Structure 1
Amino acid sequence: MNSTANSPGFAIVELSGPLLLAFSMDWALFAALTVQLYLYYQAFPNDMVFTKVLVYTVYCINLTQVIFVTIDAFNTFGYSFGDPSALISTAFRWLWLVGPIFGGIVACIVQCFYAFRLYRFSGSWIPPSIITFIALGMCGIVIFGGVSGRQSSSLWANVQAILVVTSPIYLVGTALIDITIAGCMTYYLIKSDAGFRRTHTLVTKLIRLSVETGVITALVAILILALFLGTPGKTYFVVPANSISTVYANTLLAVLNSRFQILNGRRYAPTSDIHISIPSNLPSTMGGPAVSITREELSDRSNQAMELKQVINSATTV
């Protein structure tokens, strides 16, 4: 690989371009994660200690990751600027830790959290237990792949060892887990929808959020595998692989932060469906109140409240 990098006519951009995009994407996603953490800190001071520990643990892992990414970036484009061989000798120094190990741990934590939420909605331990067991197995496989890559004799062998061990099993497995979680959440949420307007709005929002987060993380895993298998000998797969941990962390914070609502925003809905109309020609001499209350969903308010309480408790008790 070193000889290729130094050969006449070799396009250095094929190595430097993916690295630059990978470093930049990781910094950008970490910045978005920091903003989400600040919003979470401000909005939900009363969350369970378990949830807070989970959030801050995931953030600290990603903070450590971005430090190692910055070290690799500075070694490649700082100390070794102008040296094509440095694109191989220094660029992937911490890839074995950042990509597979940090990514696998964060993905496992987030998937287990989704499994817990699935239990809250379904009331059954069977699907969440299966998802948790598989997630832990995938995490063990990807950590083994990272350690195997660290012990390789050369840097490119490092990258190949990581991907050969993890790509056929981990990337496919984690994508299937994410899709399964999204499918199960959608199924149980649809079952809990009783058709009331407020309940239906909340359920629709949760379904959309579950599908979006599950599809995003699954697509990242599939993209890594497709780039690795479809462009052999290239480093294009590094762009999504380097950021998979931050992608999972952002989806976790997106799910938690979806509980607050921006007042008077585009999706703001009044908290009451009771409309009181006062006639404009009301005589001032009338002794008693003269108001009329329009009949809108008053008959099923008690049932609606019960449905809302059930769905909201499942969605917000974290």
Structure 2
Amino acid sequence: MNSTTNSSGSVIVEISGPLLIAFSMDWALFAILTVQLYLYYQAFPNDRVFTKSLVYSVYCISLMQAIFVTIDAFDIFGYGFGDPSALTHSKFAWLTAPVFGAIVACIVQSFYAFRLYRLSGSRIVPSILVFAALGICAAGIFGGVILRKSLKQDVAKIGVHVPTGLAVTTVLFLVGAALIDITIAGCMTYYLIKTDTGFRQTHALVTKLIRLSIETGVFTALLTVLILALFFGIPGKGYYAVPGSVISTVYANTMFAVLNSRFHILNGRAYVPTSDILISIPSHLRDTVGRQVVSITREEFSDRSNPPIELKKINVRIVRFPWFIVH
């Protein structure tokens, strides 16, 4: 009797455990996203309408996902408490994981591709990235439709009897998303290095953006690879549900983190002390973006017959920053 109980209990834990962790992580990441949205709202009221539309659209999708996840969690652990069959039936699992994940990933990757276009000036690579993002988005949505129709929300059977269409769309979406993320991180790093002017503040900012691009791109790529490995490597288990359910919110958080990286904390760890002084200059000397950097340096002029005299020399340099830095 003990062996039977332990056997059935272990099967239940293999399904309920990953679901509980997945629901908790989804709520936690959505809370982080909400804080990031508040910071963005406070710090960047003058951003372009296009950027604001992307930000609020992604947040609305994440909000709907949080609502659907809450409904599923209450049905499984509330109404279905004590009923093992309730663990294998989820109303919105097909929507929150593959569909919302594909849509948010497409939006975020297209946003990165647009930033890459503004940084490099080339349309070839960004266009390829956008079309690839649209392709994997279609694959993810199609996979969600197949999951809803063929498996009928039976989460326990996913990974044991995987339909051919679902397997193909899952591989296309996850592998494609990983390749796109790595490509974006590599291209952003390359073009950011090319735009480095050598000034201390600019160099510190470029270094920060390079590190952020690599971290966000590699993290989302590793997450998609982990989902793929758990989905096909451990069939019959629900372990893939943990990273699979949060992929949408992770993509949203990476996008918000990149946008919020533009504000600066005075005297923080990333603060770079400098003697440069920023002053206003006439509008006709400003660049098309409307931003300028004016550095004041001191030079010492010496005369052999007189003691050294320190004079101030003002050097005005107009630096055109990439769009993603100033907007």
User: TM over 0.5: same fold?
Assistant: yes
Q: Are 1:175 and 1:221, in contact at CA under 8 Å, matched by a contact in 2?
A: yes
Tell me if the contact between 2:93 and 2:153 (Cα under 8 Å) persists in the aligned partners.
Answer: no
1:246 is aligned to: 249
Runs of 5+ consecutive residues of structure 2 not aligned to the other structure? 277-295, 299-307
Aligned residue identity for 2:220: T
Q: How far is 1:315 from its partner?
A: 2.7
Identical positions, percent:
66
Going by fraction, where is strand more abundant, 1 or 2?
2
Cα distance in 2 for partners of 1:104, 1:75 equals: 25
Length, aligned pairs only = 291
Say which of 83, 92, 95 aligns to 1:94: 92
- Aligned residue in 2 for 1:28: 28
Counterpart for residue 183 of structure 1: 186
Higher relative contact order (CA 8 A, sep 6+): 1
Q: Summarize deviations over 1:192-212 as a string: whole Å, max 9, x none.
A: 123332222111111111111
Q: Distance in 2 between matches of 1:138 and 1:104?
A: 7
CA contact (8 A) 2:94 2:153 kept: no
Q: Which moved more, 1:49-58 or 1:193-202?
A: 193-202
1:3-32: CA deviations, max 9, x gaps?
x99974643211111000000000000000
CA distance in 1, matches of 2:309, 2:72: 71
Q: Is 2:115–2:323's contact at 8 Å kept on the other side of the alignment? A: yes
Query: Which residue identity lines up with residue 313 of structure 1 in the other structure?
Result: P
- Structure 1 alignment gaps of length 5 or more: 277-289
- Residue 291 of structure 1: how far off its partner (Å): 9.2
Which residue of the other structure, out of 105, 109, 113, is the alignment partner of 1:111?
Answer: 109
User: What is aligned with 1:122?
Assistant: 120
Deviations, residues 212-238 of structure 1 (Å, cap 9, x unaligned):
111111111111001112111101000
Cα distance between partner residues in 2 of 1:20 and 1:249: 21
Question: Structure 1 residues 208, 71: CA separation in 2 closer, same or farther (over 3 Å shift)?
Answer: same
**2: distance between equivalents of 1:10 and 1:60?**
37
Amino acid of the structure 2 residue aligned with 1:235:
G
CA distance in 1 between counterparts of 2:211 and 2:219 reads 12
Question: Which residue is equivalent to 2:208?
Answer: 205
| Aligned position for 1:66 | 66
Partner of 2:235 in structure 1? Answer: 232
Indicate how the Cα distance of structure 1 residues 8 and 36 shifts in structure 2: closer, same or farther if over 3 A, else same: closer
Whole-angstrom CA distance in 2 between matches of 1:136 and 1:206 = 26
- Structure 2 counterpart of 1:215, one-letter code: V
In structure 2, the CA distance between the partners of 1:271 and 1:99, relative to structure 1 (3 Å rule), is: same
Give, as a single letter, the amino acid of the residue that structure 2 aligns with 1:316: I
- The answer as to 2:323 corresponding to 1:314 is yes
Name the CA distance, whole Å, in 2 between partners of 1:62 and 1:171: 19
User: Does structure 2 conserve the Cα–Cα contact (< 8 Å) formed by 1:6 and 1:85?
Assistant: no
Change (3 A) 1:140 1:263: same
Matches within 5 A, 1:44-83: 44-83=44-83
CA–CA separation in structure 1 for the residues paired with 2:54 and 2:121: 22
- The CA distance in 2 between the partners of 1:271 and 1:113, in whole Å, is 33
Q: CA deviation at 1:77?
A: 0.6
- TM-aligned CA deviation for residue 313 of structure 1: 3.4
| Aligned-pair Cα RMSD in Å | 2.5
How far does the alpha carbon of each residue in 1:69-106 deviate from its partner, in whole angstroms, 9 at most, with x for none?
000000011011111111112xx321110011111000
On the 8 A contact 1:193/1:203 being kept in 2, the answer is yes
Paired residues of 1:259 and 1:316 also in contact (CA < 8 A): yes
